[in-house]
């Protein structure tokens, strides 16, 4: 659901001929090498800079939008509380949702895992003789490997979100939950479309390219046997669900063919219609800074003469509910704000995560899907807490990232280089005094260490970036002691 800012275009002035970095995907059973892939991305400076700027622009638009809503922080609290309420009553609300949907004439299916989901949808398609499907962007379907499954059984899936379509035509995964092709420059898109849609390889104007895709996709939309969507929210009270897009592509997918199949994660349930006021007000503002997506569509029952199916998918979610430390990650509404603000995401590009969910959101979801494969990811964070600050449902993202590091260390999932650093860090962080000494010596180390110690093979970041300037004030603690302690009676020295 990429949203546009009418006042700003980020189109680079000149055509870029730097090739898009394409990190190799980890093979099954392999560990994703995030740092390596990030290093590769940073070696393509034009792409890296463009990515950083575009993703940061979304974060800035979010801030501007947030500032126009005086009750913003209250809305975040409400959103978080509604989700806590829904998740602590999830069985009740899921049943209510499913029963209401069935009463509305919708066929409801339950899928325990990704394989169940794909098989159930395949069965529906087989019963209806479906060969051609148009599909709206859905992270859940990405999670299930749905498109690849359907390729394997000879059913044609056409993505209708522009960014997702670009990724499909380039045989690449999406790199961002909201803007799947944000890591590509228009020159890359021009190459992909020239190869796959036969457009002019020398024209990389965004309007031209978008129009090429519109013209190429429309006949496929008119000709499709079935349409698929995901859902942003499912409402127990009505048995209906909501899909938010900017292109109207979910509405085309659902309204043009007679058969509509929606894949919905069980954590998407909210109790009441009135809850939507809170979430719709937060979603697009957090994602891209617009007050709402261009289209907010509420599906409750099949259109007359049509047929509607809902597949409710668990795929590990019910298991995650049991973990005190991580269950609240199920509150996520996939706005992408945490990615847009994350310095590591901005500089490493979404493909470097080698996973469906990227950025801070990915760091807390991916290891619960496959702890070994994604064991490097919780280290792709500075733990600066910015993700937690922007999260519209108030998930303690950076704390969960830190928890994951500990879990993975206990389960022996971490390579030894990281483990020894972590053990030392753990000892240091456990003692405030040692921590402050370490910070001080790190500061002087940054000033005095020879470059070879910082820019070596073990430090992927140092190889392509300069380390930050050391603030003259030293650590926050130093600053606080100097400026605040003597003024504030209540401040106590060693309260950490």
Partner 1 sequence: MRGRNEILADIRANKPKFSAPAPDVPNYDGDYPADTAGLQGRFIAVLEKMGGAWAEPEAGEPLEATLRRALADRLDANSIIASNVGEIKGNRPVRADDTPASLHDVDVAVLRARFGVAETGSVCFTEAELTANAVAYLAQHLVVLLDPAAIETNLHRAYRRDDYKTARYTVFHTGPSATADIEGVLVRGAQGVRSLTVIPVR
Beta-carbon contacts of residue 151 (< 8 Å; ≥ 6 apart): 157
The answer to whether 133 and 226 are in contact (CB under 8 A) is yes
User: What is the distance between the alpha carbons of residues 473 and 454, in angstroms, rounded to a whole number?
Assistant: 22
Of 148-156, 291-299, 351-359, 472-480, which segment contacts partner 1 by CB under 8 A? 291-299
In the complex with partner 1, the residue whose CB is nearer, 257 or 354, is: 257
- Binding partner 1 (rule: CB under 8 A), the pick from 65, 124, 162, 344 is 162
- C-alpha distance across the termini of the chain, in Å: 42
* Distance from the Cα of residue 1 to its chain's centroid: 12
The answer to whether 184 and 20 are in contact (CB under 8 A) is yes
253: part of which helix (H) or strand (E)?
helix 249-255
Of 37-45, 184-192, 388-396, 438-446, which segment contacts ligand SF4 by CB under 6 A? 388-396
The answer to whether 272 and 235 are in contact (CB under 8 A) is yes
DSSP per-residue codes, 150-183 = HHHTT-EEEE-SHHHHHHHHTT---SSSS-TTTT
Closest CA to 295 of 160, 427, 409, 164: 160
User: What is the distance between the alpha carbons of residues 175 and 163, in angstroms, rounded to a whole number?
Assistant: 10
Q: Which of partner 1, ligand SF4, none interacts with 335 (beta carbon under 5 to 8 A by kind)?
A: ligand SF4
In the complex with partner 1, the residue whose CB is nearer, 95 or 473, is: 95
User: Should residue 336 be labelled a site residue for ligand SF4 when binding is judged by CB under 6 A?
Assistant: yes
Of 159-167, 336-344, 373-381, 427-435, which segment contacts ligand SF4 by CB under 6 A? 336-344
Q: Which of ligand SF4, partner 1, none interacts with 10 (beta carbon under 5 to 8 A by kind)?
A: partner 1
Strands (E) across 192-290 are located at: 226-229, 233-235, 240-245, 259-265, 269-270
Q: Which of partner 1, ligand SF4, none interacts with 246 (beta carbon under 5 to 8 A by kind)?
A: partner 1
Beta-carbon contacts of residue 480 (< 8 Å; ≥ 6 apart): 491
User: Should residue 330 be labelled a site residue for ligand SF4 when binding is judged by CB under 6 A?
Assistant: no
Q: What is the DSSP letter of 482?
A: I
- Binding partner 1 (rule: CB under 8 A), the pick from 25, 131, 319, 482 is 319
Q: Which of ligand SF4, partner 1, none interacts with 391 (beta carbon under 5 to 8 A by kind)?
A: ligand SF4
- x/- letters, 395..434, toward ligand SF4 (CB under 6 A): x-x-------------------------------------
In the complex with ligand SF4, the residue whose CB is nearer, 149 or 374, is: 374
In the complex with ligand SF4, the residue whose CB is nearer, 302 or 349, is: 349
**Interactions with ligand SF4, residue window 161-200 (CB under 6 A):** none
User: Should residue 392 be labelled a site residue for ligand SF4 when binding is judged by CB under 6 A?
Assistant: yes
User: Should residue 433 be labelled a site residue for partner 1 when binding is judged by CB under 8 A?
Assistant: no
**Interactions with partner 1, residue window 250-269 (CB under 8 A):** 251-252, 254-258, 266
Of 32-40, 50-58, 124-132, 396-404, which segment contacts partner 1 by CB under 8 A? 50-58
**Interactions with ligand SF4, residue window 354-373 (CB under 6 A):** 361
Q: What is the DSSP letter of 246?
A: S
User: What is the distance between the alpha carbons of residues 272 and 86, in angstroms, rounded to a whole number?
Assistant: 10
What is the SS3 assignment for 49? helix
Q: Which of partner 1, ligand SF4, none interacts with 78 (beta carbon under 5 to 8 A by kind)?
A: partner 1
The nearest distance, CB 119 to partner 1, in angstroms, is 8
- Binding ligand SF4 (rule: CB under 6 A), the pick from 120, 335, 351, 408 is 335
Q: What is the DSSP letter of 481?
A: I
CB atoms inside a 10 Å sphere around CB 13: 5
- Binding partner 1 (rule: CB under 8 A), the pick from 26, 36, 56, 110 is 110
User: Should residue 332 be labelled a site residue for ligand SF4 when binding is judged by CB under 6 A?
Assistant: yes
User: Should residue 301 be labelled a site residue for partner 1 when binding is judged by CB under 8 A?
Assistant: yes
The nearest distance, CB 284 to ligand SF4, in angstroms, is 12
Q: Which of ligand SF4, partner 1, none interacts with 251 (beta carbon under 5 to 8 A by kind)?
A: partner 1
- Burial class, 429, CB count within 10 angstroms (exposed 0-12 / middle 13-18 / buried 19+): middle
The nearest distance, CB 286 to partner 1, in angstroms, is 14
CB atoms inside a 10 Å sphere around CB 474: 16
* Total of residues contacting partner 1 (CB under 8 A): 107
Residue 455, both tokens: 């820019």
What is the SS3 assignment for 333? coil
User: Should residue 288 be labelled a site residue for ligand SF4 when binding is judged by CB under 6 A?
Assistant: no
User: Should residue 337 be labelled a site residue for ligand SF4 when binding is judged by CB under 6 A?
Assistant: yes
247: part of which helix (H) or strand (E)?
none
Where on the chain is the footprint of ligand SF4 (CB under 6 A)? 332-338, 361, 390-393, 395, 397
């Amino acid at each position: 659901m990429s949203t546009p800012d009418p006042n700003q275009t980020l189109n680079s002035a000149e055509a870029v001929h730097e090739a898009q970095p394409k990190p190799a995907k980890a093979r099954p059973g392999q560990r994703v090498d995030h740092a390596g892939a990030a290093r590769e991305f940073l070696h393509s400076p034009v792409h890296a800079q463009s990515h950083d700027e575009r993703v940061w622009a979304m974060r800035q638009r979010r801030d501007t939008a947030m500032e126009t809503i005086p009750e913003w922080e209250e809305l975040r609290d409400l959103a978080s509380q509604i989700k806590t309420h829904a998740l602590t009553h999830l069985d009740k609300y899921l049943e209510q949702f499913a029963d209401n949907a069935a009463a509305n004439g919708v066929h409801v299916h339950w899928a325990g895992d990704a394989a169940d989901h794909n098989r159930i949808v395949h069965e529906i398609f087989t019963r209806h003789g479906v060969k051609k499907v148009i599909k709206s962007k859905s992270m859940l379907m990405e999670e299930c490997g749905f498109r690849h499954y359907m390729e394997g059984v000879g059913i044609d899936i056409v993505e209708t979100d522009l960014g997702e379509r670009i990724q499909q035509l380039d045989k690449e995964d999406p790199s961002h939950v909201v803007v799947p092709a944000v890591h590509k420059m228009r020159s890359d898109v021009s190459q992909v479309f020239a190869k796959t849609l036969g457009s002019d390889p020398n024209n990389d104007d965004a309007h031209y390219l978008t129009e090429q895709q519109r013209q190429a996709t429309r006949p496929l939309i008119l000709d499709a046997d079935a349409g698929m969507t995901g859902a942003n929210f499912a409402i127990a009270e009505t048995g209906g669900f909501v899909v938010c897009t900017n292109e109207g592509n979910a509405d085309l997918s659902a309204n043009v063919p007679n058969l509509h199949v929606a894949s919905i994660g069980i954590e998407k349930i909210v109790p009441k219609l009135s809850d939507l006021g809170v979430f719709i007000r937060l979603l697009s503002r957090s994602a891209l800074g617009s007050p709402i997506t261009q289209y907010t569509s509420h599906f409750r029952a099949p259109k007359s003469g049509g047929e509607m199916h809902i597949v409710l998918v668990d795929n590990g979610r019910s298991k995650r509910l049991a973990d005190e430390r991580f269950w609240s990650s199920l509150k996520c509404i996939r706005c992408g704000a945490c990615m847009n603000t994350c310095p590591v995401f901005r500089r490493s590009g979404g493909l470097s995560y080698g996973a469906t969910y990227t950025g801070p959101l990915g760091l807390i979801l991916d290891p619960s899907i496959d702890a070994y494969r994604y064991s490097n990811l919780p280290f792709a964070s500075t733990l600066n807490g910015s993700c937690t600050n922007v999260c519209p449902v108030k998930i303690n993202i950076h704390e969960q990232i830190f928890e994951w590091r500990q879990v993975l260390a206990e389960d022996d999932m971490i390579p030894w280089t990281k483990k020894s650093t972590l053990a030392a860090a753990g000892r240091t962080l456990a003692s405030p005094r040692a921590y402050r000494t370490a910070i001080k010596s790190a500061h002087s180390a940054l000033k005095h260490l020879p470059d070879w110690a910082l820019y070596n093979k073990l430090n992927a970041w140092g190889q392509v970036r300069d380390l930050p300037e050391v603030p003259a004030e030293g650590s926050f603690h130093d600053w606080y002691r100097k400026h605040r302690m003597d003024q504030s009676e209540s401040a106590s020295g060693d309260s950490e």
